[in-house]
Structure 1
Amino acid sequence: MPDGRRLAVEDRGAPTGRPVFLLHGTPGSRTGPAPRAGVLYRLGVRLITFDRPGYGDSDRNPGRTIGSGAADVAAVADWLGIERFAVVGRSGGAPHALGCAALLRDRVVRAAALVGLAPRGAEGLDWFEGMTASNVREFTVARVGLSAVAASLGAAAAQIRADPAGKIVGLTEEAPESDRRTVSDIGIRRMLLRNFAEGLRHSSDGWVDDVLAFCTDWTFDPAAIKVPTLLWHGENDVFSPVSHARWLRRRIPGAMLRIERGVAHFGALDILPDVLVWLTQD
């Protein structure tokens, strides 16, 4: 990076395909759930992922915001020699994808935000309504400050490092039936285990900084997004309630909102190949 930080990047799929940045969830890493190489080749997609600062092998960027993540994406694109690209974020990566769409308008051709959050304090939105208790606690602690979040998530990250499978068990205990079915797939479970273990391998810094960024000024207005934008959400999501997507649809000019009945948060894993098709259309 221009400021001396290092970012861990993974470049896969069709080398000459349409470039798409996939921004991982929270907590997560560049190894998070994604279509297999064969699917990417068939779709003609070059998929770029990277560990957000503080996760995996990427250096921390203290005080980062949702908007500042766009500069990281631009720097990776420059390093790979990519001028224009699409971007998709899932869960915690979704606000970062919207930041790219708002702040890199000359480079981002299309954007998709899957099961994401709206800005904290969004006017007319009950931010916590329908959200699972663990996420409410996590985001409530964020209002106390950095030290409180670091203490809480530091302990949680240590538990995940010792037993990554325990994190998945905890998620399924809170999740609707559709999410439990998705996560019961052995391939999905293996990807999630690898994702959590890699993202938190060294510390909880990335997780801490993500949570703080969600709960402070994003440093951009979603209304500034002018590129074609897709918002996708499972109607039964309890980790990022569907009301957040509805608020974003009202805020982002021309955004398309797709709400799928009978599915929840992890339904975004199943829909990703179709989203990649939409992202790479002319």
Structure 2
Amino acid sequence: MRTTVAGLDVHTSHDHVAGRDVLLWHHGSPQTGAILPPVQAAADARGLAVVSVARPAYAGSPRIPGRSVADVAAGLRPVMEALGVASVISVGASGGGPHAIACAAAMPGLVRRVVTFASPAPFDGSDEWFAGMQAPQALRAAAEGEEARRRFAEIDEFDPASFVDADYAALDGEWASLGADVAASESYGIDGLLDDDLAFVRPWGFALDGVAASVLLVQGEEDRVIPPRHARFLSEALPHATVDLRPGDGHVSVLRHLSAVL
């Protein structure tokens, strides 16, 4: 079901999720917020309903210029309250990772477990933060500000070497819907992606050491988009975090472990 809740574009796997334990899915950058079949299947296998919300400036969710990671999480709190969910496992892929963690800070009574896949860590202002990224130019531009990021968007092209063979196999197989959803997001413009990148390199708006939830940081050892050092940094900053390093996996193929880690 697709509806509008608290002004945001919301997808739910069931017409009614009140009183249900839910998997709150935080999509990557860029996507539409639609519930992808492998996410639905993994949740179904664990008896969880799925709620997925398009972040501001994605799909039908209005833009919030200058939004922080914490701002997005704060905006999801009234959504969860309106839906009446019983509990939340906050799960984020890539650009959704920081927002999944932020929800544990914004809704500590509701979110007690977090899972991220290939999440970036907070930007520390150093050149090392970009180390291991095949194509860091967009994030480097974001670190210079919105105007620089918009200029780069005019020449930005995907670098095929950002993905390893396992990533392409995943996109040809179980996670083909992810690639299709990325393509579908293009019709909504670039503001969502730009605002995500800008939010990642600004202060996130909450303290990692104040997150009480358990956080599982699932990371592909061969990831060329968000390298493993980001997971290690997050694990050191979060009080209750574990790194689940997956040999042979890249940025997309690491998602094949979703059902297992749930």
- Return the TM-score normalized by structure 1: 0.83
Question: CA separation in 1, counterparts of 2:170 and 2:80?
Answer: 32
**Cα distance in 2 between the residues matched to 1:67 and 1:9:** 18
What is the identity percentage for the equivalent residue pairs of Structure 1 and Structure 2?
A: 28
Q: 1:60 to 1:18 in 2, by over 3 A?
A: same
Deviates more, 1:40-49 or 1:211-220: 40-49
Aligned twin of 1:160: none
Change (3 A) 1:77 1:5: closer
| Offset, 1:256 | 1.4
Equivalent residue runs for 1:30-69 within 5 Å: 30-31=33-34, 33-35=36-38, 37=40, 39-69=42-72
Alignment partner of 1:87 out of 85, 90, 95: 90
The residue that corresponds to 2:201 in the other structure is: 215
Flag the structure with more relative contact order, 1 or 2, with Cα contacts below 8 A and sequence separation at least 6: 1
Match of 2:176 in 1: 189
Is the Cα–Cα contact under 8 Å of residues 166 and 249 in structure 2 kept in the other structure? Answer: yes
- 1:237 & 1:81 partners in 2: Cα distance? 37
Number of aligned residues:
256
User: How far 1:96 sits from its partner (Å)?
Assistant: 0.6
1:144 Cα shift? Answer: 2.4
Structure 2: distance between partners of 1:172 and 1:50: 28
Q: Distance in 2 between matches of 1:146 and 1:222?
A: 25
User: Match of 2:50, SS?
Assistant: strand
* CA–CA distance in structure 1, aligned partners of residues 256 and 159 of structure 2: 17
Aligned CA distance change for structure 1 residues 38 and 243 (closer, same or farther; 3 Å): closer
Counterpart pick for 2:109 among 106, 110, 120: 106
Name the structure 2 match of 1:146. Answer: 146
Deviation at 1:172, TM superposition (A): 4.1
Report if the CA contact (8 A) 2:37-2:177 is conserved.
no
Q: Is 1:174 paired with 2:162?
A: yes
- Could you tell me whether the CA contact under 8 Å between 2:97 and 2:117 is conserved in 1? yes
Unaligned regions of 5+ residues in structure 1, if any? Answer: 157-166, 278-282
Q: Which sections of structure 2, spanning at least 5 residues, go unmatched?
A: none
CA RMSD of superposed structures (Å): 2.4
Q: Cα offset for 1:5?
A: 7.0
Q: Could you tell me the TM-score, scaled by structure 2's length? A: 0.88
